Amino acid sequence: MIAIIDYGAGNLRSLENTFAALGVAAKICSSPKEIATAAGIVIPGVGSFSTGMEGLRRSGLLDALQEAVHVQRKPCLGVCLGMQLLADSGHEDGEYRGLGWFPGTVKYIEPAKSEFRVPHMGWNEVYVRLQSPLFEGMGERPIFYFVHSYSFRPEIGSEDCVSATCEHGTEIVAAIQRDNIFGVQFHPEKSQEDGLILLKNFLRLL
């Protein structure tokens, strides 16, 4: 079973429905016991960094997530805001501490040219930078759907966690990975064929 973490953020049902369409049991989970019995973890989310972290703290699931991901080493996928929360900190309406699973911070996108608007919304080619199990079976430049105004920036010296990038008037980190933990800034559940391939690849890690 895939545990989709419920911490009050949006976008849970669309991921649950997509996994169901792939023939995989996925459950929106709000208790440590459910996380403990899951084969894999998905941290979804849309919204602000501060609200997301506050929701995680209030959920009472932080210890269960640490146990599942770092001790039991279950595969974990952060999606959109869920990826951003993996960072050390986020700078949206102030500075807030994240989960700290990836060295770096989340900051506002600043395109170099005015024709690139924020939020970054719509379809974008992605450049795969590292060999990654998530991107197996795709072309060199798969296309995914993005909706976000902030993006992850790795700490200097920790860029080796970046598995894919895209361009939107500046280089944006599109995916990160380290050991059993993965994050994607785009929405695979809204990205048609390439998105389904990516989720299938994640399921192969279970």
**Annotated catalytic sites, by residue?**
80, 187, 189
Tokens 């992605």 belong to: 126
Residue type, 39: A
148 close to 80: Cβ distance less than 8 angstroms: yes
Instruction: Work out the burial of residue 70: count CB atoms within 10 Å of its CB; fewer than 13 is exposed, 13-18 middle, 19 or more buried.
Output: middle
In order of 64, 74, 90, 157, the CA distances from 69 in angstroms are 9, 5, 21, 24
With CA atoms as reference, report the closest residue to 139 among 72, 198, 67: 198
